[in-house]
Homo-oligomer: A and B are copies of this chain.
Amino acid sequence: MKFFIETKGLSDFVNITEKVKEQIENSNIENGAVLIFVLGTTAAITIMEDESGVFADLKDILEKIAPEKGDYKHHLTGIDNNGAAHIKSALLKPDILIPLEKGKLCLGTWQQIILIDFDEKPRTREVLIKVLKTE
């Protein structure tokens, strides 16, 4: 299972929870866990509240850790200028695993699945889903 999503880059926070739910409706697995994985080395997936203030706060703090306009050795390759995006992606990682019960994602009241695209330009992102089995 997979879906594609358009992002704007530069730390674009996209709530993909509903997209994931649509996908797992087609699974016959009732009990287990759901892997969500984004392809690409300049994006990541995490879980957080869908609130514009929290998104802005996390963007600000990641900007302090790895400034967009910083000097990165990666830029010496001459291919692109998205060194900051690579760092943020490696720190946050592209995978998340969420429990599944009675065919539904087990998330807390405010927990949403958020894809963050750190790249310097808009991208079409491919997100893979795997529903894993318990007994």
Question: Using a CB–CB distance below 8 Å, which chain A residues touch chain B?
Answer: 27-29, 31-33, 35, 37, 39-41, 46-49, 51-54, 56-58, 61, 64-66, 72-77, 83, 86-87, 89-100, 106-108, 110-111, 114, 126, 128-135
Nearest B residue to A90, CB-CB: B48
Residues of B within 8 A of A96 (CB): 93, 95
User: DSSP majority for the A interface?
Assistant: mixed
Tally of this chain's copies = 3
**Which 7 residue pairs spanning A and B have beta carbons closest together?**
A39-B108, A53-B73, A53-B74, A48-B90, A99-B128, A56-B73, A41-B49
Query: 4 more A-B contacts (CB under 8 A) besides A39-B108, A130-B134, A133-B133?
Result: A27-B135, A54-B73, A93-B93, A95-B96
Question: Among the interface residues A46, A48, A57, which one has the most CB atoms of the partner chain B within 10 A?
Answer: A57
> Quick one: given A47-B93, A94-B111, A96-B93, are A53 and B33 in contact (CB under 8 Å)?
no
CB-CB under 8 A from A40, the residues of chain B are 108, 110-111
From B47, B53, B89, B97, A83 is in contact (CB under 8 Å) with B53
